[in-house]
Amino acid sequence: MKMTMRWFGDGDSVPLEYIAQVPCVRGIVGTLEGMPDDQVWTVETLLAYKSKVEASGLSLDVIESIPVPEAIKLGLPERDYLIEIYCESVRNMGRAGIPVLCYNFMPILDWMRTDMNYILPDQSVVTGYSHGAMQIFDLSKGLETRVAWAKGYSGEELLAALKLYEAIDDNALFDNLAYFLRRVVPVAEEAGVLMAIHPDDPPWSIMGLPRIVRDAASIQRILDITDSRHNGLTFCSGSLGVWEQNDLCAMVRQFASRIHFVHLRNVRRIGKQDFYEVAHPSENGNVDMAAIIRMLIDIGYSGPIRPDHGRRIWNENVPRTGYGLYDRALGSMYLYGLWQGIEEERRTHEQK
Ligand code: DNO
């Protein structure tokens, strides 16, 4: 495996050079922020990003994400034109030699939390989610911009966006994903780019919106749309781990050949649909990191892993919730050490 960390480009408060100082981190998960939906990501821009990353001694291993325009998720007539643009960006990723594309198919919003400042007993700050709070959320107030959302929504905009989805249930959204993948995956194959869909976070419906990447059955259905390695998965222990019935290790085994990127993060469930994020080590939450890593080693996983979100600690100024440097650095070292320890244990065992 290769330990990576997300870097949002020049607008990131964490300098690339600091990331390069984390001993285990070799690669970067990058993005071009603020690109309009109808604009192709050019080879020149991707190569410029890549050169910057390489100048710090790191490699650019993943793009997370090229956002999928709402019109594609909604199946509107302009989707054909937008899918063509998407395909061209994928071709350009191939030309620039960037091997993995993590994307999601969540309507309107990306990852959703009801509490962006959940304070743990040690005073570190994480995000939390309460389904009860979500259900009484006043949609007319809109939503501010968050890390993963290209833009915020005023109340009016949010209500209008939700209205468009009234006719789209899980099956309709799935059909629109299938339509998209049947066109993009062949292009990705030719370009040498591995598509890796990110699970919905949280993996259940919010605001009455359809959500279709939630558990083993729904993921298998997506991977079956086109039987190609290039139609793959980002395995995210944080997103999938908040559903008690999701057996994370079994999922790693089941989707082995289609996992091209891994997000490792720990969560503590406090009810059926309530949770908060915690530090990476297993004892803090419900995700058994050692078991997952063991399974990843078993399946011979050799792709990129990132520590996903971190807590806010040591008074760090973290303008993008979850994406400060300190706790992601601690998390990545924990994961790396765990991986090395398990591999080492196996080697010693084999020699006996
Ligand atoms: C959260 C992230 C997600 C992820 C997108 C991928 O921090 O893991 O926002 O980037 O869903 O498209």
CATH number of residue 124's parent domain: 3.20.20.150
Rounded to the nearest whole angstrom, what is the distance from the C-alpha of residue 308 to the centroid of ligand 1?
Answer: 9
Rounded to the nearest whole angstrom, what is the distance from the C-alpha of residue 351 to the centroid of ligand 1?
Answer: 41
Rounded to the nearest whole angstrom, what is the distance from the C-alpha of residue 110 to the centroid of ligand 1?
Answer: 7
DSSP percent split of the chain into helix, strand, coil, nearest 5:
40, 15, 40
Other CB atoms within 10 A of residue 166 CB: 9
The Cα 253–Cα 314 span in angstroms is 37
Of 111, 236, 261, best ligand 1 pocket probe by most atoms within 8 Å of the beta carbon = 111
CB of 58 within 8 A of CB of 25?
Answer: yes
- Which pLDDT score, from 0 to 100, does residue 143 have? 86
In 3-state terms, what secondary structure has residue 264?
coil
Residue 60 Cα to chain centre, angstroms: 16
What residues are paired with 127 via a beta bridge? none
Quote the tokens at residue 137.
């959320």
Q: Are strands 194-197 and 231-236 parallel, antiparallel or unpaired?
A: parallel
Ligand 1 nearest atom to the CA of residue 236, by list position: 8
The Cα 30–Cα 97 span in angstroms is 13
The Cα 97–Cα 319 span in angstroms is 30
Rounded to the nearest whole angstrom, what is the distance from the C-alpha of residue 64 to the centroid of ligand 1?
Answer: 7
Cα end-to-end span (Å), the chain: 25
The Cα 345–Cα 336 span in angstroms is 14
Rounded to the nearest whole angstrom, what is the distance from the C-alpha of residue 6 to the centroid of ligand 1?
Answer: 10
CB of 64 shorter than 6 A to ligand 1: yes
Q: What digits encode the pLDDT tens for the residues 192-216?
A: 999 999 999 999 999 999 999 999 9
- Which pLDDT score, from 0 to 100, does residue 86 have? 98
Residue 158 phi, psi (nearest 5): -65, -45
Quote the tokens at residue 295.
């399974």
In 3-state terms, what secondary structure has residue 181?
helix
Q: What pTM did the predictor assign?
A: 0.96
Burial of 160 from C-beta contacts in 10 A (0-12 / 13-18 / 19+): exposed
Max CA pair span of the chain? 67
- Which pLDDT score, from 0 to 100, does residue 146 have? 76
CB of 262 within 8 A of CB of 301?
Answer: yes
Q: Which domain holds residue 319?
A: 2-351
CB of 198 shorter than 6 A to ligand 1: yes
The Cα 74–Cα 107 span in angstroms is 8
Residues of the chain short of pLDDT 70, as ranges, are 147-148, 150
In 3-state terms, what secondary structure has residue 341?
helix
CB of 148 shorter than 6 A to ligand 1: yes
Q: Per the structure, how many domains does the chain have? A: 1
Which residues, at least 6 apart from 150, have a Cβ–Cβ distance to it below 8 Å?
34, 67
Q: Backbone dihedral region of 294: left (phi > 0), alpha (psi from -120 to 50 degrees) or beta?
A: alpha
- Which pLDDT score, from 0 to 100, does residue 150 have? 67
In what helix (H) or strand (E) does residue 312 lie, and over which residues does it extend? none
Q: What digits encode the pLDDT tens for the residues 254-307?
A: 999 999 999 999 999 998 999 999 999 999 999 999 999 999 999 999 999 999
What residues are paired with 76 via a beta bridge? none
